């Protein structure tokens, strides 16, 4: 989900934006330029490893270009990865869950086998018996079904249908196997 990638590229900085510390100016430019791309959501430069000593000015280009080698932190959800997140919005077609720096959709058909009903007045999705109520701020556990992140669009779909997924407050903890074994041993000793 989160990973660091080493990158080498030429970075163009406007002359008026060059400050006393060239590396800091380049870091700012990188963080402006890389928001969403094929590597996922760009979260920031972690380290500038190597910086060309001199910049190059190209004809008819208003930038000074530097060769830069740097490390950057990215967020890229992976299919079948388990994630925890908070509900940020509830819509008729399903809730949006904040995972990392983005919101992902759990379509209403991917929440549970039960039929859920959207209540627009309370802005919640609820089961008929109200044992499951999904509202803003609820913590959920889900699995990434698929994702596509690009400059134009971020689309991440989650599922909560499998056992062990859903509203974390409703997830049941299974009893430890050790307790069962001890009870069986105690019964044998009493006989």
Domains 2-75 and 82-170 share a fold: no
**Residue 189 confidence (pLDDT):** 54
Average pLDDT over every residue of 2-23: 85
pLDDT digits (tens, 9 = 90+) for 40-88: 888 889 999 998 888 888 888 888 899 999 999 999 999 999 999 999 9
CA dist 190 → 26, 52, 118, 178, 182 (Å) = 76, 80, 55, 19, 13
Question: Which range among 77-91, 113-127, 176-190 shows the weakest confidence by mean pLDDT?
Answer: 176-190
The mean pLDDT of the chain is 85
Residue 182 has pLDDT above 80, yes or no: no
> Using an 8 Å Cβ cutoff, are 44 and 73 in contact?
yes
**Residue 54 confidence (pLDDT):** 84
Question: Which range among 35-39, 104-108, 128-132, 180-184 shows the weakest confidence by mean pLDDT?
Answer: 180-184
Q: What angle do CA 163, 148, 10 make, to 5 degrees?
A: 135
Architecture of the structural domain at 2-75: 2-Layer Sandwich (3.30)
Residue 108 has pLDDT above 60, yes or no: yes
Question: Which range among 1-15, 23-37, 149-163 shows the weakest confidence by mean pLDDT?
Answer: 23-37
Higher pLDDT, 34 or 153: 153
> Using an 8 Å Cβ cutoff, are 96 and 88 in contact?
yes
Q: Tell me the domain boundaries of the chain.
A: 2-75, 82-170
Smallest Cα–Cα separation from 113: which of 165, 155, 157? 165
- CATH for the 82-170 domain, from 2.40.50.140, 3.40.980.10, 3.30.1280.10, 3.30.420.40: 2.40.50.140
């Amino acid at each position: 989900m989160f990973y660091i990638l080493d990158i080498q590229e030429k970075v163009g900085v406007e002359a008026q934006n060059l400050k006393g510390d060239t590396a800091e100016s380049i870091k700012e430019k990188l963080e402006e330029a890389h928001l969403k791309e094929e590597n996922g959501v760009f979260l920031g430069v972690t380290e500038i490893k190597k910086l060309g000593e001199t910049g190059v000015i190209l004809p008819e280009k208003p930038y000074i270009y530097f060769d830069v080698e740097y490390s950057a932190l990215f967020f890229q959800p992976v299919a079948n990865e388990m994630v925890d997140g908070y509900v940020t919005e509830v819509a008729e077609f399903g809730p949006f869950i904040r995972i990392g720096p983005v919101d992902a959709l759990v379509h209403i058909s991917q929440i549970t086998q039960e039929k859920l009903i959207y209540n627009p007045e309370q802005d919640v999705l609820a089961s008929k018996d109200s044992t499951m109520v999904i509202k803003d701020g609820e913590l959920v556990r889900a699995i990434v079904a698929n994702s596509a992140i690009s400059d134009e669009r971020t689309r991440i779909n989650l599922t909560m249908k499998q056992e062990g997924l859903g509203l974390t407050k409703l997830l049941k903890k299974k009893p430890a196997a050790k307790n069962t074994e001890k009870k069986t041993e105690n019964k044998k000793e009493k006989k």
